[in-house]
Protein backbone atom coordinates (compact mmCIF):
# COMPACT_ATOMS: atom_id res chain seq x y z
CA UNK A 1 0.00 0.00 0.00
CA UNK A 2 1.47 3.36 -0.97
CA UNK A 3 1.50 6.46 1.25
CA UNK A 4 -1.54 8.06 -0.44
CA UNK A 5 -3.62 4.91 0.15
CA UNK A 6 -2.55 4.82 3.80
CA UNK A 7 -3.56 8.49 4.25
CA UNK A 8 -6.95 7.85 2.66
CA UNK A 9 -7.57 4.74 4.79
CA UNK A 10 -6.57 6.57 7.99
CA UNK A 11 -8.83 9.53 7.24
CA UNK A 12 -11.70 7.22 6.23
CA UNK A 13 -11.47 5.35 9.57
CA UNK A 14 -11.62 8.59 11.55
CA UNK A 15 -14.51 9.85 9.40
CA UNK A 16 -16.46 6.60 9.87
CA UNK A 17 -16.16 6.86 13.66
CA UNK A 18 -17.11 10.56 13.54
CA UNK A 19 -20.20 9.76 11.47
CA UNK A 20 -21.31 7.08 13.94
CA UNK A 21 -20.83 9.53 16.82
CA UNK A 22 -22.86 12.20 15.06
CA UNK A 23 -25.71 9.75 14.47
CA UNK A 24 -25.78 9.04 18.22
CA UNK A 25 -25.68 12.75 19.19
CA UNK A 26 -28.24 14.58 17.01
CA UNK A 27 -27.26 18.14 16.20
CA UNK A 28 -23.55 17.41 16.57
CA UNK A 29 -21.57 18.67 19.53
CA UNK A 30 -20.08 16.59 22.29
CA UNK A 31 -21.30 13.10 22.96
CA UNK A 32 -22.78 12.26 26.35
CA UNK A 33 -20.53 10.89 29.12
CA UNK A 34 -19.02 7.57 28.13
CA UNK A 35 -16.26 5.13 28.96
CA UNK A 36 -12.82 6.37 27.92
CA UNK A 37 -12.06 5.93 24.23
CA UNK A 38 -8.87 4.27 23.01
CA UNK A 39 -6.13 6.93 22.83
CA UNK A 40 -4.65 6.86 19.32
CA UNK A 41 -2.03 9.51 20.06
CA UNK A 42 -1.73 12.24 17.44
CA UNK A 43 -3.92 11.96 14.33
CA UNK A 44 -1.52 14.20 12.37
CA UNK A 45 -4.37 16.60 11.65
CA UNK A 46 -3.93 20.32 12.16
CA UNK A 47 -6.11 23.38 11.74
CA UNK A 48 -4.36 26.44 10.36
CA UNK A 49 -4.95 29.97 11.63
CA UNK A 50 -7.36 30.64 8.74
CA UNK A 51 -9.54 27.63 9.66
CA UNK A 52 -8.16 25.29 6.98
CA UNK A 53 -7.80 21.63 7.97
CA UNK A 54 -4.82 19.45 6.96
CA UNK A 55 -4.06 15.74 7.30
CA UNK A 56 -0.40 14.77 7.12
CA UNK A 57 0.32 18.14 5.52
CA UNK A 58 -2.31 17.71 2.78
CA UNK A 59 -5.36 20.03 2.77
CA UNK A 60 -8.70 18.38 3.56
CA UNK A 61 -10.71 20.02 0.79
CA UNK A 62 -14.04 18.22 1.28
CA UNK A 63 -16.21 20.66 3.24
CA UNK A 64 -18.53 17.83 4.34
CA UNK A 65 -15.59 15.95 5.89
CA UNK A 66 -14.33 19.04 7.73
CA UNK A 67 -17.87 19.67 9.00
CA UNK A 68 -18.12 16.06 10.18
CA UNK A 69 -14.81 16.25 12.05
CA UNK A 70 -15.83 19.56 13.63
CA UNK A 71 -18.83 17.86 15.28
CA UNK A 72 -16.57 15.52 17.28
CA UNK A 73 -13.94 18.11 18.16
CA UNK A 74 -13.29 18.62 21.87
CA UNK A 75 -10.91 20.71 23.97
CA UNK A 76 -9.82 19.42 27.36
CA UNK A 77 -9.04 21.37 30.54
CA UNK A 78 -5.37 21.59 29.51
CA UNK A 79 -6.27 23.23 26.20
CA UNK A 80 -5.49 20.11 24.13
CA UNK A 81 -7.74 19.51 21.11
CA UNK A 82 -9.09 16.02 20.36
CA UNK A 83 -11.21 14.34 17.73
CA UNK A 84 -13.17 12.06 20.06
CA UNK A 85 -15.55 9.23 19.21
CA UNK A 86 -16.91 6.51 21.50
CA UNK A 87 -14.29 4.11 20.11
CA UNK A 88 -11.13 6.18 19.76
CA UNK A 89 -9.75 9.63 20.19
CA UNK A 90 -6.65 11.39 18.92
CA UNK A 91 -4.99 14.73 19.44
CA UNK A 92 -4.91 17.34 16.71
CA UNK A 93 -2.94 20.59 16.47
CA UNK A 94 -4.73 23.94 16.27
CA UNK A 95 -2.73 27.05 15.34
CA UNK A 96 -5.07 29.52 17.08
CA UNK A 97 -8.69 28.42 17.51
CA UNK A 98 -10.51 25.78 15.45
CA UNK A 99 -13.17 27.92 13.80
CA UNK A 100 -13.49 31.18 11.88
CA UNK A 101 -16.60 33.38 12.10
CA UNK A 102 -17.24 34.34 8.48
CA UNK A 103 -20.62 36.09 8.65
CA UNK A 104 -22.55 38.31 11.05
CA UNK A 105 -26.32 38.76 11.09
CA UNK A 106 -27.96 41.37 13.31
CA UNK A 107 -31.54 40.73 14.45
CA UNK A 108 -33.38 43.55 16.20
CA UNK A 109 -32.05 46.72 17.82
CA UNK A 110 -30.76 48.02 21.13
CA UNK A 111 -29.53 45.90 24.05
CA UNK A 112 -31.95 43.08 23.19
CA UNK A 113 -30.66 42.70 19.63
CA UNK A 114 -29.14 39.37 18.63
CA UNK A 115 -25.74 39.16 16.96
CA UNK A 116 -25.59 35.82 15.15
CA UNK A 117 -22.32 34.52 13.73
CA UNK A 118 -21.91 31.80 11.09
CA UNK A 119 -18.68 29.82 11.23
CA UNK A 120 -16.66 28.33 8.40
CA UNK A 121 -18.02 24.88 9.33
CA UNK A 122 -21.68 25.95 9.26
CA UNK A 123 -22.35 26.48 12.97
CA UNK A 124 -24.55 29.41 14.00
CA UNK A 125 -23.90 31.01 17.36
CA UNK A 126 -25.63 33.98 19.01
CA UNK A 127 -23.47 36.12 21.30
CA UNK A 128 -24.98 35.97 24.79
CA UNK A 129 -24.05 35.28 28.41
CA UNK A 130 -22.96 31.73 27.50
CA UNK A 131 -21.39 32.54 24.13
CA UNK A 132 -19.18 35.47 24.99
CA UNK A 133 -17.36 37.83 22.67
CA UNK A 134 -13.83 38.73 23.68
CA UNK A 135 -11.03 40.76 22.13
CA UNK A 136 -7.39 39.80 22.76
CA UNK A 137 -4.38 41.73 21.53
CA UNK A 138 -2.03 39.94 19.14
CA UNK A 139 1.75 40.12 19.30
CA UNK A 140 1.54 42.75 16.55
CA UNK A 141 -0.73 44.94 18.71
CA UNK A 142 -3.76 44.27 16.48
CA UNK A 143 -7.05 43.17 18.07
CA UNK A 144 -8.04 39.53 17.75
CA UNK A 145 -11.77 39.05 18.39
CA UNK A 146 -13.27 35.68 19.34
CA UNK A 147 -16.69 34.22 20.11
CA UNK A 148 -17.44 31.08 22.15
CA UNK A 149 -19.04 28.43 19.95
CA UNK A 150 -19.49 25.46 22.31
CA UNK A 151 -17.75 23.60 25.12
CA UNK A 152 -14.62 25.75 25.18
CA UNK A 153 -14.28 25.88 21.39
CA UNK A 154 -13.97 29.37 19.91
CA UNK A 155 -14.17 31.04 16.52
CA UNK A 156 -11.96 33.98 15.60
CA UNK A 157 -13.89 36.69 13.78
CA UNK A 158 -12.67 37.21 10.22
CA UNK A 159 -11.54 40.79 9.65
CA UNK A 160 -14.63 41.85 7.62
CA UNK A 161 -16.88 40.39 10.33
CA UNK A 162 -15.00 42.31 13.03
CA UNK A 163 -15.31 45.53 11.02
CA UNK A 164 -19.07 44.93 10.70
CA UNK A 165 -19.24 44.35 14.46
CA UNK A 166 -17.38 47.58 15.18
CA UNK A 167 -19.91 49.45 13.02
CA UNK A 168 -22.59 48.31 15.47
CA UNK A 169 -20.61 49.48 18.51
CA UNK A 170 -21.56 52.19 20.99
CA UNK A 171 -20.13 53.82 24.08
CA UNK A 172 -21.24 52.60 27.51
CA UNK A 173 -20.24 53.76 30.96
CA UNK A 174 -19.11 50.75 33.04
CA UNK A 175 -18.02 51.76 36.53
CA UNK A 176 -15.46 54.54 36.16
CA UNK A 177 -14.60 53.64 32.58
CA UNK A 178 -16.18 54.43 29.24
CA UNK A 179 -16.09 51.34 27.06
CA UNK A 180 -16.82 50.85 23.39
CA UNK A 181 -18.68 47.66 22.63
CA UNK A 182 -21.80 45.91 21.41
CA UNK A 183 -24.99 44.52 22.92
CA UNK A 184 -26.40 41.09 22.17
CA UNK A 185 -29.26 39.42 24.07
CA UNK A 186 -29.02 42.06 26.82
CA UNK A 187 -25.32 41.40 27.45
CA UNK A 188 -22.72 44.12 26.79
CA UNK A 189 -19.44 43.00 25.24
CA UNK A 190 -16.57 45.52 25.41
CA UNK A 191 -14.48 45.81 22.28
CA UNK A 192 -12.09 48.38 23.80
CA UNK A 193 -11.80 51.27 26.23
CA UNK A 194 -12.01 54.90 25.26
CA UNK A 195 -9.57 57.50 26.52
CA UNK A 196 -11.10 59.89 29.01
CA UNK A 197 -11.14 63.57 27.99
CA UNK A 198 -8.44 65.65 29.68
CATH no. for 3-94? 3.10.540.10
The CATH number of domain 99-193, selected from 3.40.50.300, 3.90.1150.10, 3.40.190.10, 2.30.270.10: 2.30.270.10
Pairing mode, if any, of strands 114-119 and 88-94?
unpaired
pTM for the complete prediction? 0.81
- Per-residue model confidence as pLDDT tens digits over 109-130: 999 999 999 999 999 999 999 9
Q: What pLDDT does 31 receive?
A: 46
State the average pLDDT for the chain.
85
Separation of alpha carbons 86 and 38, rounded Å = 8
> What is the SS3 assignment for 63?
helix
Q: Per-residue pLDDT averaged across 149-158, rounded?
A: 96
Q: What is the mean pLDDT of residues 54-58?
A: 93
B/e letters for 27-58, b = 16+ CB within 10 Å, e = fewer, are ebbbbeeeeebeebeebbbbbeeebebebeee
Q: Is the pLDDT of residue 65 over 70?
A: yes
Phi, psi of 191 (to 5 degrees): -105, -15
Distance CA(91)–CA(80), nearest Å, equals 7
Domain residue extents for the chain: 3-94, 99-193
- More confident of the two residues 41 and 66: 66
DSSP 186: T
Q: Can you give the C-alpha Rg of the chain in angstroms?
A: 19
Of 150 and 173, the structure prediction assigns the larger pLDDT to 150
- Give tens-digit pLDDT for 92-108: 999 999 999 999 999 99
179 alpha-carbon distance from chain centroid: 26
Q: 21-30, 51-60, 142-151, 176-185: which range is least confident on average?
A: 21-30
Amino acid sequence: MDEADAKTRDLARIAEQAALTRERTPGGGSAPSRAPSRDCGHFDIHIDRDGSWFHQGTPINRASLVRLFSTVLERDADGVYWLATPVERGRIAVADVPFLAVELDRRGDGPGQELVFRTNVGDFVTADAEHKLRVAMGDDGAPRPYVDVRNGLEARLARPVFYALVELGREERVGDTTLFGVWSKNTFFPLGSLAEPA
